[in-house]
A and B are shown apart, each in its own frame.
Chain A
Amino acid sequence: METLTRISDRFDKWIVLIGRIAAWSGVLLIAVTIFDVVTRRFLVLGSTKLQELEWHFHVVLFVFCIGYAYLKDAHVRIDLVRERLSERTQWWIELLGCLLFLIPYCALVIYFSYDFTVRSFATQEISASATGLTHRWIIKSAIPIGFTLLALSGLVVVFRKLVELFGPPELREKVHEVEEAEVEHLDKAALKNFGDEQGGPR
């Protein structure tokens, strides 16, 4: 049980770290867009390259953040029934959901998108437009990698639920606390921020 906790905490740290770094590609995306808009007026740089770069950043941003968002519990859930279930039932649902839905789904996407990437590499695929970016396989590989991260975050949740369901009481407590600390519901995050800013204007 303790090994499970250790492994899940380790994975968790890495996934969150990668997500946090990938999050900054949003800023790069904005920067490239602005650069494209501004320079197009004056110079004729290859706008195609810039625009392709834009969605490259976009892909990095979302694909590496899905697992991160799961660990932070930022994914939408339909809470209507769930709120009335016991905590134990909720854990079971989460465990089964990961084992039956999330992980097989990831495996499927990884399997085929890996194939997709390899084909792209084998044919040395480049942009369809003459002035576009080359080495399309690099960004295509982001999809299997991102889904691997998502599958791993599913594994983290599986381990944690196992500990919570079957582990010794003190370990359960610990895992539960780690989870609670990590939760970052988007609406509650907004709440927290406004707490910080009370006593601002007015």
Chain B
Amino acid sequence: MEYFYFEDYLPLFMFAALGGLLFSGYPVAFVLGGVGLTFGFVGMYFEVFDFIQFFNLAPRIWGGIAENLVLTAIPMFIFMGTMLERSGVASDLLHCLQVLLRRVPGGLAMAVTLMGTIMAATTGIIGASVVMMTLLALPVMLNRDYNIPLATGTIAASGTLGILIPPSIMLVIMADLLGRSVGNLFVAAVFPGFILAGLYVLFILVLCGFRPRLAPPLPDDVGPGSNLELLVLVLRSFLPPLFLVFLVLGSILFGWATPTEAAGVGAAGAILLAFLNRKLSFKVMRDVVERSALTGGMLFGIFLGATCFSYVFRSLGGDDIVIGTVEAMGLGSWGLLFVLMGLVFFLGFFFDWIEITLIVLPVFSPIIELLDFGTHVDKFELVYWFAILLAVNLQTSFLTPPFGFALFYMKGVAPPQVRIQQIYKGIIPFVMLQLLGLGLVMTFPDIALWLPRVLLN
């Protein structure tokens, strides 16, 4: 006869409580901390947790978050992105790309995709990059009588590339949580990121080739008249940010610098670019400093809260429950992978990557250890592959109606004539492309794993 012990199921209640309370709209960071604390006390009542165990929080915060040179890259990447946003680089870049691509079918949409890919290096906060791209590109596209769903779909998809294409803050955090090298993960994300961008470009090219009315070209008188002026435009607006991105990425790819050092170089480079663009003033500097600090405070607030939550969760035996449940399902590695991906995809409807990564990854990391794909993926490389799949998956989930995060942000700043239905309609083909990309990386792990193998081993 088996007895039901309430305390055995505490971790489940804990997770349910978290899920419910997050929807109260109280800041995620503090809900995490509060739920952790509360269930610590509940655990004390059932005598499965001891007050003194909370002491471990201090060394955990210390060793895991404070004394951690990997995470030190994050504030600098945030700074780099915020500074580049303010430096006018993005709008110059878009202008230049428009001019260069004016004779290509769907040139403007393609310019947006390329800008998204290049600027992807700069931020990782979904809201900020989608808002920036929308404000910058959507009015221009509407002016040119672009098909609205095409325009919004392109912008939303390219604007979220930032969380995937390195240097991405999300990948830094994933690497840290999984205990793997940030550099390796960055390198692994390069091809999948570019493949997605490539799929977008191809789609736009084909679509606009067949139906040019969707994407009217720019008039020929836009941009400089002579080739010399064009060259100057390219040199001035296009090359500096590209150079900066390559400097940051290159120094990581070729092992010249650690990601943290590269982040420092990138941040300093962004200041330099703003200065060269004559956008740097004390006011701008102060704004960027404060906004980056707020973003950092927000992110690390969740980090701290998640530390508290997952510590208590584990102390109450959460790991055993997760593993026990998974083993009871008897799914095998592929089944498990699909379940995990489905779960993360579903969570992406409601949450930003920050919460998903910080809450789900620590809880599920013991499962990743259980996965075994035989010869399909080498055991050592499996974690990198999994992380990349997760990253692509997360990016997709922000684009899926009805709750796609990116779509809401976009609706918030789009001109009033853009209806949410048009945004929904526009994103569908891009979601298909995303799923195609995800399927490719799943079927051919080498897309992610080949480059790190060649470059780093």
Contact = CB atoms under 8 A, between A and B. Distances in A.
A and B: bona fide binding partners: yes
B265 A113 contact: no
A186 B322 CA distance: 35
A176 interface: no
Given A76-B352, A81-B24, A30 B76 contact: yes
B7 interface: no
B22 A115 contact: no
A102 B30 contact: yes
Interface residues of A, number: 69
Nearest to B270: A30
A140 B29 contact: no
A72 B294 contact: yes
A101 B76 contact: no
A75 interface: yes
A74 to B, nearest CB: 4
A30 B295 contact: no
A201 B91 contact: yes
Interface string A117-144: 0000000000000000000000110010
Given A75-B27, A75-B298, A187-B128, A108 B88 contact: no
B54 interface: yes
Interface in A34-48: 34, 36-37
Contact of A62 (B91, B265, B297): B297
A97 B260 contact: no
A187 B92 contact: no
Contacts of A54: 69, 72, 260
Contacts of A33: 76, 260-261, 263-265, 267
B409 A55 contact: no
B72 A66 contact: no
Interface string B90-129: 0110010000000000000000000000000000010110
A34 B24 contact: no
Contacts of B403: 80
B319 interface: no
Contact of A108 (B35, B54, B257, B294): B54
Interface string A68-107: 1110101111111111010000100110010011101100
B162 to A, nearest CB: 13
A30 B57 CA distance: 29
Interface in A162-202: 184, 186-187, 189-191, 193-194, 197, 200-202
B28 A78 contact: yes
Interface string B354-384: 1100000000000000000000000000000
Contact of B24 (A27, A74, A82): A82
Interface in B277-308: 287, 289-302, 304-305, 308
Nearest to A83: B25
Nearest to B23: A81
Given A101-B26, A200-B88, A26 B300 contact: no
Contacts of A24: 289
Contacts of B27: 70, 75-77, 97
Main SS of the interface on chain A? helix
Nearest to B295: A186
A157 B75 CA distance: 27
Nearest to B72: A58
B308 to A, nearest CB: 7
Given A55-B67, A100-B34, A201-B95, A76 B28 contact: yes
Contact of A202 (B68, B91, B261): B91
A23 interface: yes
A51 B69 contact: yes
A78 B289 contact: no
B135 interface: yes
A87 to B, nearest CB: 12
Given A26-B296, A30-B79, A113 B61 contact: yes
A137 to B, nearest CB: 12
A194 B59 CA distance: 42
Interface string B70-95: 01100110010000011010011001
A65 B297 contact: yes
Given A26-B292, A66-B301, A76-B28, A194 B132 contact: yes
B305 to A, nearest CB: 8
Contact of B261 (A36, A76, A113): A36
A78 B351 contact: yes
Chain A CB within 10 Å, residue with most, of B58, B268, B292: B58
Given A37-B261, A62-B75, A102 B34 contact: yes
B54 A112 contact: yes
B297 A105 contact: no
Contacts of A90: 25
Given A29-B72, A75-B301, A189-B291, A101 B34 contact: yes
A82 B297 contact: no
A156 interface: no
Given A30-B76, A77-B26, A78-B28, A69 B301 contact: yes
18 contacts: A26-B292, A29-B72, A30-B271, A33-B267, A55-B69, A58-B71, A61-B293, A62-B296, A62-B299, A65-B294, A66-B29, A74-B294, A77-B27, A94-B26, A97-B31, A101-B31, A186-B294, A190-B135
Given A65-B294, A109-B304, 20 more contacts: A26-B79, A58-B75, A59-B66, A62-B299, A66-B297, A68-B293, A68-B294, A69-B301, A70-B301, A75-B302, A77-B26, A97-B34, A101-B33, A102-B34, A105-B33, A184-B294, A187-B127, A187-B128, A189-B291, A191-B413
